[in-house]
Amino acid sequence: MHSQLDEVPELNITPLVDIMLVLLAILMVTTPALVYEEVIKLPDGSKSSVVNKLPELEIRITKDRKVYLKNDSFMLSEFADSFMMQKSKYPLKSIVYIKADEGLSYKDVMFVLKTVKQSGFTNISLETNG
């Protein structure tokens, strides 16, 4: 007689494999049908349209605290008043580039940046040598 301790339980994985194969087949059949589409209406373009380039304004600050705006030069201390008077020459949508000497203090560069922002210009970039 065999005792119950001598019997080794046998694991039957055939039903598990059958179920997994059925699930895999269902997944393979339904996946191609699950395509998401979004209708996109693109604007019509034309070859004759010209892109309007925004005017550029360059402000340079030298290490001796002189500010150059196009062909005009000002001392840093009088830049705010002078720029307020000359801002009407440039559209407020102009791109303003501020280029400062690396020997200047942070405070001086921020003074020019603040003055330009308070004048109504919003598209301002700081240039670097890097």
pLDDT at 7: 78
CATH of the domain at 109: 3.30.420.270
Distance CA 89, CA 99 (A): 20
Taking 70 as the pLDDT cut, the residues of the chain under it are: 1-5, 34, 48-52, 129-130
Nearest alpha carbon to residue 62 among 51, 70, 73: 73
Determine the pLDDT at residue 26.
Answer: 92
Q: Is residue 6 part of a domain?
A: no
pLDDT at 48: 67
Strand 95-100 and strand 72-75: the pairing is unpaired
Residue 10 lies in a domain: no
Domain of 62, in residue numbers: 56-127
d(CA 12, CA 71): 91
pLDDT score for 9: 79
| The total number of structural domains that make up the chain | 1
Structural domain contains residue 22: no
Q: Is 9 inside any structural domain?
A: no
